Amino acid sequence: MSLKYNIESTWLSLKHHAFRSLLAMLGVVLGVAAVVGMLAVSEGARVESVERIQQQGVDNIILHTEEPDAAAIGTEELFFYGITLEDIEHFRTVFDNVKKVVPVVQLRETVYSLGKPTDIVLMGVHPAFLKISRSVNADSRGRWISEMDSETASMVCSVGVDAARQLFGLADPLGKTISVYGASFTVVGLVENPLRSKLAGKHDINNVIFVDYDSLLSIFKKDSMEVVADYTYVQVEDVAYLKNTADRIRTYLAETHELPDYTLSVPYELLLAEQATQRVFAVVMGSIAAISLIVGGIGIMNIMLANIYERTKEIGTLRALGAQRKTILTQFLFEAVTLTGLGGLLGVGIGFLIAVIIKLSAGMPTVVTALSVMVSLSVSVFTGILFGTYPAWKASNLSPIEALRR
């Protein structure tokens, strides 16, 4: 029999038993929708976490200065803690596979705007910070902090675009003056981070005032400051040896720091761990959703067996007219695959809808990938083949005489 006959026969069967066919497809529809929806949530979470980690630079090792707790200090009075200038110089000059070392220090004083305190912080950074943080100069008329500013101790700053709006409103910030704790800095540029990255995961780069690192230490007397580097970015030459470099830094700091006054994070290691976690999550979610497909497949089998019982006379007539067993098997298997295939298409549509609803209602990022759609449709078709084979085989093995006698 031709493909046209199989299509017409399947259409008539679905049309005459529309409600029953819909119930049979329901398990497949829900299973595919669950697969697409869950994988969309999983992929969205993976993309967001990967982007967040990559914003810190996968070729960076980030050192955070941490104030030791009272139990670690004991009765000793603490005047200084964290990463030191000697540590920074050691990283630059002794360690191989180190491309740049960029310390960042925060001035622990409140920045005021129009007489009111703000959440803006002032940071001292090296010129290399712009590139290492994936930021850009937001105004072609201005500039970023330069090496010359450090050499001449220039009282200039570059302001994040959000900080500029908070400080100056709609006025042009270039050339304006910012006063913090008795020191005045002239705004020479605007800085913007397109990815809205956070400095070491804490401070929005677009809402920070940046001045030259050495100038900040000299103005506010580094000898009297408790911390000279709140964050230190160590950029490596070759990511392949990043783990080895990070281990060497850990060993060095463990030997030179008596107190636990620092933490070390490696975005690349976090990225690998996050990807492994997401793979496990995707497998678990996919496995749970696959149970619905199995239930749907059982429903398809039951409907097809009932269909064979109702169409026994038709099968006997076809066999009496010379239809071969493989023809009957193909016809009923085609019907089963059509049921699951249609259920798969409907499930993909509902899965898209689930992903959109989750994104709009919960604010969670969702990403429906072509791979998840293809896998879902393939599994739905495979379900039809797997659970439709036995009913089709049973139909093809009906004796024409017994079928007509019924």
The 10s digit of each residue's pLDDT in 183-216 is: 888 999 999 988 777 776 678 889 999 999 988 8
Q: Which bin fits 157, alpha (ψ -120 to 50), beta or left (φ > 0)? A: beta
pTM of the model: 0.59
Q: Report the alpha-carbon distance of residue 155 to residue 183 in Å, rounded.
A: 8
Is the per-residue pLDDT at 93 higher than 80? yes
Q: Report the alpha-carbon distance of residue 207 to residue 230 in Å, rounded.
A: 17
Domain ranges of the chain: 3-53+272-405, 67-260
Mean pLDDT of 241-269: 85
Give the best-scoring range by mean pLDDT among 53-57, 203-207, 320-324.
Answer: 203-207
pLDDT on residue 336: 78
pLDDT greater at residue 276 or residue 34 = 34
Is the per-residue pLDDT at 44 higher than 90? no
Q: Among the listed ranges 96-100, 247-251, 331-335, which one has the minimum average pLDDT value?
A: 331-335
Helices vs strands, H then E, count in the chain: 14, 14
192 three-class SS? strand
The CA distances from residue 245 to 54, 60, 92, 268, 286, in Å, are 19, 10, 12, 12, 38
Q: How far is C-alpha 214 from the geometric centre of its chain's CA atoms? A: 37
Is the per-residue pLDDT at 291 higher than 90? no
Q: Among the listed ranges 61-75, 232-246, 354-368, 371-385, which one has the minimum average pLDDT value?
A: 61-75
Q: Report the alpha-carbon distance of residue 140 to residue 143 in Å, rounded.
A: 7
- Residue 259 has what DSSP assignment? S
Is the per-residue pLDDT at 257 higher than 70? yes
Residues facing 158 on adjacent strands: 189, 210
Q: Report the alpha-carbon distance of residue 214 to residue 17 in Å, rounded.
A: 81
Q: For helices 325-362 and 18-55, give the axis angle rounded to 10 degrees.
A: 50
Is the per-residue pLDDT at 76 higher than 70? no
Q: Report the alpha-carbon distance of residue 244 to residue 268 in Å, rounded.
A: 12
Is the per-residue pLDDT at 16 higher than 90? no
258 three-class SS? coil
pLDDT on residue 17: 67
Q: If you average pLDDT over every residue of the chain, what do you get?
A: 79
